[in-house]
Structure 1
Amino acid sequence: MELKELVEQFAHHVVAQNEALFRGDARAGNKHARKYIAAVSKLLESGDVGREALCVLLKHERMDVRVMAAAFLLRYRTEEARSVLEEAAKGTGLIPFGARQTLQYWAEGTWNLDPG
């Protein structure tokens, strides 16, 4: 599978997971989470080429996609990813909460989504 397809799958399943959670359908949300985690795992297995492919999502139109991509890119693109997370963290709701948590884990040194 091409990297572009994996990036598209990642974005699609992040959106689908959030939509399912907002409907109260945790089962569907978990199904989509497994799919975007599988996509990002393949991207990260491709090394920096896969990480670069994922970077396009830091400018995605949807905040949930930007935040999730930033969470996985903190080590690789620290300043850009932190900027995305800090901007999202200013809001209220589930996505901004996730951005704040990610920033907290990064500051504590417990973040480990992409050990490199």
Structure 2
Amino acid sequence: MNLEDIAGEFARNVAAQTDAIMRGDRGKGGDKEAKRYVAAYKKLRDHGEAGRDALARLLTHSRMDVRVYAVTFLLSDRPEQALPVLREAAKGEGLIPFEASQALKYWDEGTWKLDVD
């Protein structure tokens, strides 16, 4: 599987998790998809800059949830790319803009840490 495929897997699973949450399926559906996009992220992370480049290509994805999740995974390494996307997303209303605003809050406070090992 190439890096673009892995980034596509990340995007599909973020979208699937959001869709599950919107259907009210926070349990089995949402958790399963979250595990999958975290696994995809770890695969990308293992490829260093090339993996981050593949993830960064999702910053222009058509779905806001995919953009926001991609930037939260890139925020520590590429704040100059991530912060504008988060700021734009945080202007809206709903779950994803709220998540973007929370990430910005923690970043601004200096307490941001992605807890994915």
Matching residue of 1:61: 62
Matching residue of 1:24: 24
Give per-residue Cα distances to partners, 1:52-94, cap 9 Å, x unaligned.
1111000111101001001111122212210000000011100
SS in 2 for 1:111: coil
Q: Which runs of 5+ in 2 are unaligned?
A: none
2: CA distance between counterparts of 1:78 and 1:13?
A: 23
**Identical aligned residues as a percent:** 55
SS in 1 for 2:86: helix
1:14 paired to 2:28: no
Matching residue of 2:113: 112
Matching residue of 1:44: 45
1: CA distance between counterparts of 2:34 and 2:106?
A: 20
| Runs of 4+ displaced beyond 3 Å | none
Instruction: Tell me the amino acid that sits aligned with residue 20 of structure 1.
Output: A
Aligned residues: 115
1:5 paired to 2:11: no
TM-score by length of 2: 0.92
Matching residue of 1:74: 75
How far off its partner does 1:41 sit? Answer: 1.0
How far off its partner does 1:114 sit? Answer: 7.8
